[in-house]
Amino acid sequence: MNELFILFTLATVHLIGLMSPGPDFALVVQNATRYGRETGVYIALGLSVGILLHSILSLTGVSYLIHQQPLLYTLIQLAGGSYLLYLGFGALIATWKNAQTDQPESGLTRSTLEISDNKQAFKRGFITNILNPKALVFFVSLMSSLVPASMSLMGKATALLILWSVSFIWFGALAWLLSTQRLQRKLLSATPYIDSLCGVVFSGIGLTIIYHCLSVWW
């Protein structure tokens, strides 16, 4: 199969996966609307670097080996589920406290989930992606089905570059769109609802992952 066709297919499938609602998407929506464009872009950078690392691990076979070790994979799932649950409960608790004190503008800025600088924004994006067990499975499947072992070293390096750049451009564009002044004015009053919705998404996915792990072992 022609390498250009493989790379085009890889980029298309990956973009479709990125556009599907999930923890990464919710993280950008929640924080770009709250903290603004710069924070959103750094979160997008963190997410894309996490995706790059997943891609490298999958391409080298490390992720496949992890997936074949039930105990290790379960521990990664539990870590990822617990982190998403932490983000979700944190968002819901902060929103509830703001409703009680009638200070909707404070939101997460008074909780342990506050993002105070770009380094923290990058870290939040990176950890959210790298601890997502569904991302590990997705990239193992993506690489094993679309990137043949016979592909040239240049082709594989290009594949990694494509996966990273498509991820950063998509999440960066999403953060940019959500942080325009006109949209920010409209979203300001909806911030508590956005936080609540994202909190439910994080909590729901986290609980589902943890429940699945426990049900398998018990």
Instruction: Please state, in angstroms and rounded to a whole number, the distance separating the CA atoms of residues 99 and 30.
Output: 18
Structural domain span for residue 63: 24-30+39-217
- What confidence score (pLDDT) does residue 95 get? 76
Determine, yes or no, domain membership for 5: no
Indicate the SS3 state at residue 153: helix
- What confidence score (pLDDT) does residue 121 get? 94
Both tokens of 37, joined, read: 């464009």
- What confidence score (pLDDT) does residue 106 get? 43
Would you give the distance in Å from CA 44 to the centre of its chain?
9
Determine, yes or no, domain membership for 2: no
> What DSSP state is assigned to residue 1?
-
- What confidence score (pLDDT) does residue 52 get? 95
> What DSSP state is assigned to residue 103?
-
- What confidence score (pLDDT) does residue 187 get? 65
Determine, yes or no, domain membership for 4: no
- What confidence score (pLDDT) does residue 105 get? 47
Those residues of the chain that have pLDDT short of 50 are 104-110
Determine, yes or no, domain membership for 1: no
Report the number of distinct structural domains present in the chain.
1
- What confidence score (pLDDT) does residue 1 get? 57
Residues 6 or more apart whose Cβ sits within 8 Å of residue 57: 63, 66, 136, 139
Both tokens of 172, joined, read: 């960066």
Task: List the Cα angle 182/110/170 in 5-degree steps.
Answer: 45
Determine, yes or no, domain membership for 12: no
- What confidence score (pLDDT) does residue 110 get? 46
| Amino acid at the residue 127 | I
Determine, yes or no, domain membership for 83: yes
